[in-house]
Structure 1
Amino acid sequence: MEKSRRKFLNDAVKISAGTSLLTLLPADLLAAKKKISANDKVRIGLIGCKGQGWSNMNAHFKIPEIECVALCDVDKSVLDQRTADAEKIQGKKPKQYDDYRKLLDNKDIDAVIIGTPDHWHALQMIHACEAGKDVFVEKPVANTIEECQLMVAAAKRYKKVVQVGQWQRSGYHFDNAIKYVQSGKLGQIRLVKTWAYQGWMKSVPVVPDSDPPPGVDYNMWLGPAPKRRFNKNRFHFTFRWFWDYAGGLMTDWGVHLIDIALAGMNASVPRSVVALGGKFAYPDDAAETPDTLQAVYEFDKFSMIWEHAVGIDGGNYGRNHGIAFIGNNGTLVVDRGGWEILPEVNNDDRKNIVYKMEKLPFQPQGGGYLDEHAKDFINCIKTRGTPKCSIEIGAHVATVCQMGNIAFKTGRRVFWDYTKNEFVADSKANELMKSNYQNGWKLPKV
């Protein structure tokens, strides 16, 4: 069973990995695309064309009525490569943009996919809503709690469909696990554990600052972030480990896993948070965010623990990531490979074990969840329905993850004021909620 679980897990992890591989559409899908009338097409503009942004675009290419009409990136080499890739996939070359604001001015675009670094998400999503576009925005939705609140307000004000790229929400095995948690069969759930142990993420070696690569508009890449010399560690994938642009593993994987915990428990934001950790594995490398962290969240009737570690895979229950709902009758453990029940024993006779609840075999994942997430977004564009991971959901979990980072930065337990939507009598924590846009960029007023 463990071998089977690991196979499903390895297959599932591939779903989430940003890839530069070209999508090869089957002949029947290409034929179906040609039959779609111009009036029935949904025209997409992609902002941020590398990594996960391109993976999201690939998932949308598989939908017959989708046409990619525009691409935007600050790296000309990436932009040219993706333009060529898109032309091969759909037989039509999209327009190129180096400034997302110009792309948003294109009246032919119905919706945008935002796959830029985290510090850009709020500005681009809000501006897209203002421009009348529906939005598929990558997770975490924002880099501050203030941005989260404004993004929710913008989607509501402009009445736009916003799908957040937390594709686990479109995974039926996650949905089944949540339903089981809410069935009451586990008994009183007193503790929820969430974790990400990422052995493949290694140290980030210190390298000197340099000039940006040819064709990169570095000033545009920085946008509202503080002005700094170019350093390749802060560019492309590894931007995640620098506070100017992101929140480390706490927000990168936390929004995926803590989201399932919050959904299972129907939980709001916590009463309080305390977090401990640091750069214990690689104290002298270039990364700023902690490579090791534990955060304890206090909710009304249960506690939640988040923990992460870079460079090792030895997570809870033999899994390098997951969510465990620990109840009086048993524990449900779910990860991207599937879920299972670990029942509590009801007697002391180990020769004739009696369990407090049923023992279910491993329930595997079904795969293709990013594709399903894209389909849900397009269906909601047509019906004006609410997507499976709305901006409210994405902002909720991003806020909870930001609270963990804020507790870590302050070095103390922080308490939440539900009436004011801020921390209780804590000026430093409340300051860390705010955005500090620079270089002439302004946080929009909604």
Structure 2
Amino acid sequence: MGHHNMNRRNFIGSSAALLALTALRANGMNLYNPVSPKRVALIGTGWYGKSDLFRLMQVAPVEIVALCDVDKHQLNTAADMVSERSKTKQKAKLFGDYRQLLSETRPDIVLVGTPDHWHALQTIDALKAGAHVYVQKPISVDIMEGEAMVAAARKYNRIVQVGTQRRSTPHLIEAKKNIVDTGMLGKVHHVEICCYYHMHSNANPPVIPVPDFFDYNMWTGPAPLRPYDGLPHRGWWRGFMEYGNGIMGDMCIHMFDAVRWMLGLGWPLRVSSTGGIYVDNAGKSNITDTQSAIFEYKDLNCIWQHRTWGTAADPEYPWAFKIYGDKGTLCGDVMKYNFIPASDGKKLHGDVLFEKAQYPEDLTEPDIELHVASATRLHMRNFLESIDKGTRPVADIEQGHISTASCILANLSMQLGRSLSYDPLKREITGDPEATRLLQRSYREPWIHPSIQSI
């Protein structure tokens, strides 16, 4: 525990959470040592695709059989990095079309690290090919995609872990076990979640020819085809509703999902939202720069606010959740948590777990989110353990679907100007045929939208 942050409170040492984490760390690479290592493929070799793959390689002896990307430059760079980090130095097979990868290599595990508009098709096709899947959040760009993904995971009896790794963040596990689960908050009747990062682009790049190393048609896939104005996969795509769900789908989902996990919340009874582009309106980006949403539960509102301009409401917690109980308040984010008692109790604090001593390669990895590495490793271990035991992972596809769909409902509510109640059994917006029609986007030909019937 020498590299463990020493300002953590001593009483944590006896907690079940930390004992479990200590055991995980002590076992390290011996945790999952199957007779034959899992054969792994990565679809989408950009920033987070590679990051997820490297975290998996750190916790289990896996064989990287294939990589897929529509950008040959990005693909070749990733191939070199993966070869360098693999013990055998063997080269993975490289593909430009994920369907070819699935049919030719039949991997045991597929990591989906593509932009949001590709998640559903690639996950479902990987499941049909017999693979277990780790898919990034949000799982889908419309709610019917998510329903089809859940149905496919169940039909093919495969494990799907969603990259909502707050559920595997060591200091948040600690807070849940020691503060929430022990009742220190008392009765919870209010939650605030927020993001005040300045992440709305005002860029206006010109339309240019598509470079020969990039398959823009395949990158776009089922999404609307925008005029090409530069490589979209370096973050530019996040500014467009054509490919994702805006800041709701990118940032709200993490904190909303963390709160649902902490408090054991399922589908919200009703979702409402307002917002728009109020400040950053000089560029092409069409996602909101200001948006509020309310996720309503019985005797509890979970309220979201994002703003890509101005100052954070609380500079200590610019992207965070705050859970208010009658006995105290729990504030949490990716770096820390604080418990503030309502009366004369003891204030509690916990910090992010860095594992720099155990994983020194983290320190030289380009673009790594160092503070998230311990969480993603634990998330990958949980994924592998679920595969071994046939149990549901902590961020099972159904949980990822609820969190994703709730954020999509907020965007639909903002668009329609009214609150929405989704019925997951009937798969419709109660009493609202117009809104129900918006649960499924149209796909660009020749791509076909997945349906539960076609799984």
Instruction: Identify the TM-score tier after normalising by the shorter chain.
Output: 0.7 to 0.9
Instruction: Report if the CA contact (8 A) 1:313-1:319 is conserved.
Output: no
**Distance in 1, Cα, partners of 2:442 & 2:217:** 17
User: Which of 63, 69, 93 pairs up with 1:67?
Assistant: 63
What letter matches 1:160 in structure 2? R
**Distance in 2, Cα, partners of 1:313 & 1:135:** 38
Q: Which runs of structure 2 are paired with 1:310-389 in the superposition (5 Å)? A: 310-316=308-314, 318-345=316-343, 355=344, 358-367=345-354, 368-389=374-395
How much has 1:418 moved relative to structure 2?
Answer: 5.5
Alignment-derived partner of residue 77 in structure 1: 73
Alignment-derived partner of residue 282 in structure 1: 280
TM-score, length of structure 2 as denominator length: 0.84
User: Which of 47, 51, 54 pairs up with 2:50?
Assistant: 54
User: Which of 83, 86, 94 pairs up with 2:82?
Assistant: 86
How much has 1:388 moved relative to structure 2?
Answer: 1.7
How much has 1:313 moved relative to structure 2?
Answer: 4.9
Instruction: Report if the CA contact (8 A) 2:340-2:348 is conserved.
Output: no
SS at match of 1:198: coil
Change in 2 beyond 3 A, CA 1:420/1:202: closer
**Distance in 2, Cα, partners of 1:416 & 1:142:** 16
Change in 2 beyond 3 A, CA 1:341/1:40: same
How much has 1:239 moved relative to structure 2?
Answer: 1.0
Structure 1 residue ranges, 4+ long, deviating more than 6 angstroms after superposition: none
**Distance in 2, Cα, partners of 1:363 & 1:325:** 16
What letter matches 2:413 in structure 1? A
Residue 187 (1) aligns with residue 186 (2): yes
**Distance in 2, Cα, partners of 1:207 & 1:174:** 40
Q: Which runs of 5+ in 1 are unaligned?
A: 9-28, 346-354
Change in 2 beyond 3 A, CA 1:266/1:46: same
> Which segment is superposed worse, 118-127 or 307-316?
307-316
Counting aligned pairs with the same residue, the percent is 31
User: Which of 399, 405, 409 pairs up with 2:411?
Assistant: 405
Instruction: Report if the CA contact (8 A) 2:66-2:105 is conserved.
Output: no
**Distance in 2, Cα, partners of 1:379 & 1:155:** 17
SS at match of 1:105: helix
Instruction: Report if the CA contact (8 A) 1:47-1:73 is conserved.
Output: yes
SS at match of 1:210: coil
Q: Which runs of structure 2 are paired with 1:36-435 in the superposition (5 Å)? A: 39-90=35-86, 91-179=89-177, 180-199=179-198, 201-232=199-230, 234-316=232-314, 318-345=316-343, 355=344, 358-367=345-354, 368-417=374-423, 419-435=425-441
SS at match of 2:235: helix
How much has 1:335 moved relative to structure 2?
Answer: 0.9
**Distance in 1, Cα, partners of 2:114 & 2:168:** 22
**Distance in 2, Cα, partners of 1:313 & 1:112:** 40
What letter matches 1:262 in structure 2? R
How much has 1:343 moved relative to structure 2?
Answer: 2.2
**Distance in 1, Cα, partners of 2:200 & 2:248:** 16
> Which segment is superposed worse, 76-85 or 410-419?
410-419
What letter matches 1:75 in structure 2? D
Instruction: Report if the CA contact (8 A) 2:106-2:131 is conserved.
Output: no
Instruction: Report if the CA contact (8 A) 2:210-2:228 is conserved.
Output: yes
**Distance in 2, Cα, partners of 1:425 & 1:210:** 46
Alignment-derived partner of residue 20 in structure 1: none
SS at match of 1:420: coil
Change in 2 beyond 3 A, CA 1:418/1:132: closer
What letter matches 1:95 in structure 2? K
TM-score, length of structure 1 as denominator length: 0.86
Q: Which runs of structure 2 are paired with 1:15-34 in the superposition (5 Å)? A: none
Change in 2 beyond 3 A, CA 1:233/1:250: farther
What letter matches 1:54 in structure 2? K
How much has 1:265 moved relative to structure 2?
Answer: 2.5
Instruction: Report if the CA contact (8 A) 1:315-1:321 is conserved.
Output: no
Q: Which runs of 5+ in 2 are unaligned?
A: 9-27, 355-373
How much has 1:107 moved relative to structure 2?
Answer: 4.1
**Distance in 2, Cα, partners of 1:133 & 1:313:** 45
Instruction: Report if the CA contact (8 A) 2:200-2:289 is conserved.
Output: no
How much has 1:190 moved relative to structure 2?
Answer: 1.3
How much has 1:425 moved relative to structure 2?
Answer: 2.2
How much has 1:435 moved relative to structure 2?
Answer: 2.8
**Distance in 2, Cα, partners of 1:418 & 1:120:** 23
Aligned length: 405
**Distance in 2, Cα, partners of 1:57 & 1:312:** 36
How much has 1:318 moved relative to structure 2?
Answer: 3.0
SS at match of 2:421: strand
**Distance in 1, Cα, partners of 2:314 & 2:428:** 32
What letter matches 1:438 in structure 2? R
Instruction: Report if the CA contact (8 A) 1:233-1:286 is conserved.
Output: no
What is the CA RMSD across the aligned residues, in angstroms? 2.3
What letter matches 1:420 in structure 2? K
- Per-residue CA deviations over 1:302-336 (Å, capped at 9, x if unaligned) read 11101111245513373111111111222111111
What letter matches 1:183 in structure 2? T
**Distance in 2, Cα, partners of 1:88 & 1:365:** 29
